[in-house]
Chains A and B, each alone.
Chain A
Amino acid sequence: DGGITQSPKYLFRKEGQNVTLSCEQNLNHDAMYWYRQDPGQGLRLIYYSQIVNDFQKGDIAEGYSVSREKKESFPLTVTSAQKNPTAFYLCASSMGIQETQYFGPGTRLLVL
């Protein structure tokens, strides 16, 4: 089955710790995205990547980092600089930057 997978489903972060959220797709999509969702709000774009080895900041990139070493994978690291990381994180992909975005199941990040 083609799709987007995210792991883990739940993630706990201690103060001062960096954590990495995984996003993998087997849809052969070129573009991938990371969004953050807070309660009562819509999604906000953190980072996006149009092709391998290239990525751009979205609206709320501070405290986050990404890499795109493989077409199928776009991991997101939440660094200790992100002071309010508790949120639901959604990864998406699309055939191209102009195409419809499809979403993974999400990762819930909680701070201990």
Chain B
Amino acid sequence: AQTVTQSQPEMSVQEAETVTLSCTYDTSESDYYLFWYKQPPSRQMILVIRQEAYKQQNATENRFSVNFQKAAKSFSLKISDSQLGDAAMYFCAYRSAFGNEKLTFGTGTRLTIIP
């Protein structure tokens, strides 16, 4: 079974600085998708970024980018120019590309932005 590990329960960053959230996963599959979701205090899960394992290029969405290391099974999220609105729980998630409907989530990292 696939597992997703987020080893940083909490992180903090100064406003306008850069922070990196870590995620590792375990799978025997060769093709899959990885996601970062943000859960602000409203508790709605919001998609931040998606990475397809067969693509070597790291995904980028404005101030959010990932460092995808397939051999190391690592998928970190970098947030540049941190803003107060970035404060939230961040969840890393995995989904197989082979007909598996399930998203497997990590336990999350709580990100605090210091003004």
Docked pose: A103 CA to B105 CA in angstroms: 14
Return the contact of B43 from the options A33, A50, A105 (Cβ within 8 A).
A105
Q: Is the CB of B101 within 8 A of A103?
A: no
B46 within 8 A of A: yes
Q: A residues engaging B (CB < 8 A)?
A: 31, 33, 35, 40-45, 48, 50, 56, 58-59, 88, 90, 92, 97-98, 100-106, 108
Q: Is the CB of A105 within 8 A of B107?
A: no
Q: Is the CB of A33 within 8 A of B35?
A: no
Which residues of chain B are near A50, meaning CB under 8 Å?
Answer: 101
Q: Is the CB of B101 within 8 A of A97?
A: yes
Q: Is the CB of A45 within 8 A of B103?
A: yes
Of A33, A59, A88, A100, most buried by chain B (CB within 10 Å of CB) is A100
Which residues of chain B are near A43, meaning CB under 8 Å?
Answer: 45, 91, 103, 105
Which residues of chain A are near B104, meaning CB under 8 Å?
Answer: 42
Q: Is the CB of A42 within 8 A of B91?
A: yes
Interface pairs (11), CB distance under 8 Å:
A50-B101, A59-B102, A90-B45, A97-B101, A98-B97, A100-B35, A101-B103, A103-B44, A103-B45, A104-B44, A105-B44
Q: Is the CB of A42 within 8 A of B105?
A: yes
> Quick one: given A33-B101, A48-B101, A59-B102, are A41 and B45 in contact (CB under 8 Å)?
no
B99 within 8 A of A: yes
Which residues of chain A are near B101, meaning CB under 8 Å?
Answer: 31, 33, 45, 48, 50, 56, 97
Which 5 interchain pairs have the tightest Cβ spacing? A42-B105, A103-B45, A105-B44, A43-B105, A97-B101
Q: Least Cβ distance of B25 to chain A in Å?
A: 12
Which residues of chain B are near A92, meaning CB under 8 Å?
Answer: 45
Q: Least Cβ distance of B77 to chain A in Å?
A: 15
> Quick one: given A42-B108, A100-B35, are A105 and B42 in contact (CB under 8 Å)?
yes
Q: Is the CB of A41 within 8 A of B44?
A: no
Which residues of chain A are near B102, meaning CB under 8 Å?
Answer: 45, 48, 58-59
